[in-house]
Amino acid sequence: MKKASLTMAGTKPTLQGDPGDCAMSSLNDEKSRTDLVHRLKRAEGQLRGIQRMVEGGEDCLAIASQMSAVRKALDSAYVRMTVCFMEQELATRLGDQPSAQADLGEMLGQMEAMLGKIR
C-alpha cells in the first residue's frame, strides 16, 4: 500500500497520494473508548433536550444556552479523544521506558489542560 504524504509547496500544503491510504489508528484502550462513548451519550441527551425545547417553542436565550453547553461537551470529548490518541501513539513509539512514560503522562496532562482553555 502506498502511503499518502504531506508536502509544502510554497506556503500551501498539498497531499500527495491517495488520502484513503493513510492508516489512522483507533483507540485501543477500552477505558478510554468507554469514557468517550459516555461523553457522547450525554451530549446526545442534551441535543434531544434542545430539540424538545425548539419543538415546544421555548425561549431562544434558553435554547442558545443549552446549545452552548452541548458544544462545550463535544469540545471536551474531542480534546479527551485527541489526548488519548496521542498518549497511545507516543507510548507505542517510546516503548517501555519508565522515565519516558512518566514524562509522557505529565506532558499530556498539561496539554489537555492547555487545550481545554482554548474552547
| Domain boundaries along the sequence of the chain | 27-117
The dihedrals phi and psi of 18, each to the nearest 5 degrees, come to -85, 120
How many CA atoms lie within 13 Å of 109's alpha carbon, on the beta-carbon side?
A: 6
- pTM of the predicted protein model: 0.66
What is the distance of C-alpha 7 from the center of its chain? 25
Q: Which of 34-38, 66-70, 91-95 has the lowest mean pLDDT?
A: 91-95
Q: What pLDDT shows up at residue 28?
A: 83
Euclidean distance between CA atoms 69 and 49, whole angstroms = 12
Confidence of residue 112 (pLDDT cuts 50, 70, 90): confident
In terms of C-beta distances under 8 Å and separation of at least 24 residues, what long-range contacts does 25-31 make, across chains too?
25/85, 25/88, 25/89, 27/81, 27/84, 27/85, 27/88, 28/88, 29/84, 29/88
Average pLDDT estimate for 93-105: 75
Q: Does residue 79 have a pLDDT over 80?
A: yes
pLDDT greater than 60 at residue 75: yes
What is the mean predicted confidence (pLDDT) over 99-114? 77
| Domain spanning 27-117: CATH 1.20.58.1000 | yes
* Terminal Cα distance for the chain, rounded: 38
pLDDT tens by residue, 31-65: 989 999 999 999 999 999 999 999 999 999 999 99
